[in-house]
Structure 1
Amino acid sequence: MDRAKHIFTYAETLDGGGVERAQLRLARGWIEAGRRVTLAVGCTGGPLAAEIPVGLEVIPLGGRTFRSLFAVPAIIRKIKPDIIFCPGSYYTSIALWTRLRLGSSCPPFICKVSNAMRRGDHPPLFALGHSAWLRTHPWFIDHIIAMTEASARDVFETTRIDSSRVRIIANPPAMPLPGSTIEGLPERYILGVGRLVRQKRWDRLLDAMPRIAEPLPLVILGEGEERAAMEARARSLGVDLRLLGHAPDPLLAMRSAELLVLTSDYEGVPGVLREALSVGTPVVTTDSSPAVREIVSSARFGTIVETYDGDALVRALNAWLRPDAIRPKPVLPPGADSPLRYLELFDSLMSGAHSPARRLGRRAVPDTPLPPTEVAATGPAAP
């Protein structure tokens, strides 16, 4: 069987998002397996630049905006990769743009789902447009990667793609980085990890902090445009907020935190929940994704609250801060062999009629959602 010798992928920046961090972990595994990997990225600076694996070929696009990614088709035409990997839902419009520009000469496109396909934060008209957009995906994407069974079902129900074009492959797990430190951690604290953007809804957590029985500092690892607004809100509420920026190894903070909290409007498969559970730290999270209940699969691991229920959030925080609360035993995360599972898929697409997106187009879309038993699973779906 032919091998996918050259894999191409792309990103807007290396500013610290979970999508790009997983992308670099996968690239490292592919390189270690002897494959050539090229990354086109708008800006090569940023916190994740230190995590670029040795051997990764980086093509800077000279900009920090999404617009810089419109150069991707020209790069693909020049370097002629065997496979294109779209690292997350945010980037699928570039997959469409590339398919339109390259036509039948476009290599196979494999796209990973990184956000919930259906989002409660969309107003009705926008939700209709988004639903129509998802229905177009089988036309320009050859294979979709979902990270859990629930995410795969979400893919079927929203895109109506054929089950043979979906795989379940978890993200590679986070690994401790020897020598890493995090300055400024208090003795006891509640922890949040994620970008400082509206999607994460850190305002919900800030509003809950003055209402908990035991006032503790709130530590958040991450950067983003909401920093100033969060600092102002914390001051007005009297919350001891510590924004410590990007951390190369957030496991250090997770291991000693009282609990990890995620209050997002929407997520894909929140890696921070798996990371916290991997070091035995309980989690409190909004019901922001179909995958959340697969990860927090037992009350022993944490508490899931309705997205807009502030009172439930406070009750959950208080329950886990009680002296008699029992921390969970560490949960081994899936995904250690994920880079190799991706390569098996890439190689399988190198023969003959490798592009069902071009060959079948919308005719590949079934009339009704497929049952979850038809998912072609290639790895564990949940801890």
Structure 2
Amino acid sequence: MPADHILTYALAMRGGVEAALGRMLQGWLDQDRRVTLVLGDDDGQFQGGVPHGVDMVTLGHQRYGGLCTALPGLIEQARPDVIFCPGNHYTAMAAWTRLRLAGACPPIVAKMSNAVDRGDQAGWMAWGQRQWLAGHRHFLDALVAMTPATAREAQGATGLSVAVIPNPPSVLPGFASNRPPVASRRILGVGRLEPQKRWDRLITAMTHLPEDIGLTILGEGSLRPALTAQIEILGLSHRVSLPGHSADAPGAMAAAPVVALASDYEGVPGVLREALAVGTPVVTTDSSPAVYEIVTDPTLGTIVPRQDVHALAAALRHWLDPVAPRPDPVPQPGQDSAERYLALFDSIVAARGRQAPIWSEPERMPSAEIGLGARAVAVARRLALRPAL
């Protein structure tokens, strides 16, 4: 019994999680599966990556609570065979859907898109994060991680059996591995201007580097005013630029001498894979176990402790040396990711089909249980919005 109809959802097609989701959809359509995508709104830089043939449902807003509330009813109307939750930021919605639909809820498969241990949490927030992850086994049918190391962490935190399926690869331009060295001494960062990414740390590192070294950060987000103010206060306006989103980020990575990522936490950072795929070395914080699975050799780049700005600056200085060799391009994994997800979906739907029909009359939970569940989901939502689990 195959998963003929897959429903997935997101607030908007912006960010790495949503970009990876867009790349997955075409593979599912190519296998003659019906795909429904529920969006808060269609305003996102990766909206163009949604392939023709996907059934779109758009709510017209990006309110987390609004999409969370609407999702169970939309699922009842669409009657998919399986629900795909594309990342940790969206698992509170999956929990609420399971709670509201109970026995009528289709199987839910989620992807672990961030590290279990977040670098921005301490005290009760870190404890709450662990409790929330431990509860995932009560509303998910399967969990997917993108690398073996992240799968081991996810299994330990959730108690679920975790499949390893990489994200589908980005479409990148081809470049000869023996092309001439890049003459520019300008560091490139690519990613959302949000707290998780810690661009403020990278900007601070610029004060420890020579005047002829510049920095360009491609991306947009809520921290633009704060980062602009930091650049001005540090007197770096002539060296640091924030041009916003770029339609040719891969080309910019290929032309850069080094790509830097200074995040507090990540899942499996696609920007590192993309940079290495075009032969550009990387400097990254130890924001996830996955960075060690990507930067597997000192010839590819340097991994530094999250809080060590001096180590970050030293690593950048090393790779900006004109004699530093560029690595050979590293192929991205995930060419068969869509097929592997479908095999997982099919196995789960087949197992469910042997037990009971998905769309039998729902067993509604007692009101006391609904109230308790709603409070748990509310806590999870607060964790998710800081800014992502």
TM range (shorter): 0.7 to 0.9
The answer as to whether partners of 2:107 and 2:348 remain within 8 angstroms in 1 is yes
SS of the equivalent of 2:130 reads: helix
Counting only pairs closer than 5 Å after superposition, residues 280-319 of structure 1 correspond to structure 2 as: 280-319=279-318
Q: What amino acid does structure 2 have at the position aligned with 1:333?
A: Q
Q: Give the drift of 1:58.
A: 1.0
Distance verdict in 2 for CA 1:46–1:120, change over 3 Å: closer
SS of the equivalent of 1:7 reads: strand
Q: Give the drift of 1:355.
A: 10
The answer as to whether partners of 1:147 and 1:269 remain within 8 angstroms in 2 is yes
1:188-241 alpha-carbon deviations (Å, 9 max, x no partner): 521001000011000011011121136322111111011111112112223222
Q: TM-score, normalised by structure 2?
A: 0.85
Q: What amino acid does structure 1 have at the position aligned with 2:165?
A: I
37, 55, 60: which is aligned to 2:53? Answer: 55
The answer as to whether partners of 2:208 and 2:310 remain within 8 angstroms in 1 is no
Distance in 1 (alpha carbons) for counterparts of 2:326 and 2:250:
16
Distance in 2 (alpha carbons) for counterparts of 1:20 and 1:189:
28
SS of the equivalent of 1:331 reads: coil
Counting only pairs closer than 5 Å after superposition, residues 323-362 of structure 1 correspond to structure 2 as: 323-353=322-352
- Any stretches of 5+ residues in structure 1 without a counterpart? 179-185, 357-383
| Equivalent position of 1:19 in the other structure | 17
| Equivalent position of 2:225 in the other structure | 228
Q: Give the drift of 1:57.
A: 1.2
The answer as to whether partners of 2:184 and 2:257 remain within 8 angstroms in 1 is no
Counting only pairs closer than 5 Å after superposition, residues 1-383 of structure 1 correspond to structure 2 as: 2-14=1-13, 16-70=14-68, 71-161=70-160, 163=161, 166-176=162-172, 188-213=185-210, 215-239=212-236, 240-353=239-352
| Equivalent position of 2:382 in the other structure | none
RMSD: 1.8
Q: What amino acid does structure 2 have at the position aligned with 1:217?
A: G
Percent of aligned positions that are identical: 50
Kindly report structure 1 stretches of 4+ aligned residues shifted beyond 6 Å. Answer: none
Distance in 2 (alpha carbons) for counterparts of 1:72 and 1:160:
26
Farther-moved stretch of structure 1 (234-243 vs 329-338): 234-243
Q: What amino acid does structure 1 have at the position aligned with 2:197?
A: K
Distance verdict in 2 for CA 1:284–1:151, change over 3 Å: same
Q: Give the drift of 1:128.
A: 1.2
Q: TM-score, normalised by structure 1?
A: 0.87
Q: What amino acid does structure 2 have at the position aligned with 1:48?
A: F
Farther-moved stretch of structure 1 (334-343 vs 236-245): 236-245
1:217-268 alpha-carbon deviations (Å, 9 max, x no partner): 2111111011111112112223222222222342111000010000000000
Q: What amino acid does structure 1 have at the position aligned with 2:25?
A: A
Distance in 1 (alpha carbons) for counterparts of 2:119 and 2:332:
28
Distance in 2 (alpha carbons) for counterparts of 1:344 and 1:220:
38
1:156-175 alpha-carbon deviations (Å, 9 max, x no partner): 211122x3xx2100001110
SS of the equivalent of 1:136 reads: helix
Q: What amino acid does structure 1 have at the position aligned with 2:15?
A: G
- Any stretches of 5+ residues in structure 2 without a counterpart? 175-182, 356-389
The answer as to whether partners of 1:210 and 1:238 remain within 8 angstroms in 2 is no
Distance verdict in 2 for CA 1:299–1:17, change over 3 Å: same
| Equivalent position of 2:360 in the other structure | none
| Equivalent position of 1:378 in the other structure | none
The answer as to whether partners of 2:147 and 2:165 remain within 8 angstroms in 1 is yes
1:3-28 alpha-carbon deviations (Å, 9 max, x no partner): 111110000122x2000000111111
Q: Give the drift of 1:354.
A: 5.9
Q: Give the drift of 1:30.
A: 0.7
Distance in 1 (alpha carbons) for counterparts of 2:277 and 2:19:
18
Distance verdict in 2 for CA 1:99–1:204, change over 3 Å: same
How many residue pairs match? The answer is 345
1:137-183 alpha-carbon deviations (Å, 9 max, x no partner): 1110001000001001101211122x3xx2100001110379xxxxx
Distance in 1 (alpha carbons) for counterparts of 2:309 and 2:270:
23
| Equivalent position of 1:183 in the other structure | none
Distance in 2 (alpha carbons) for counterparts of 1:355 and 1:109:
17
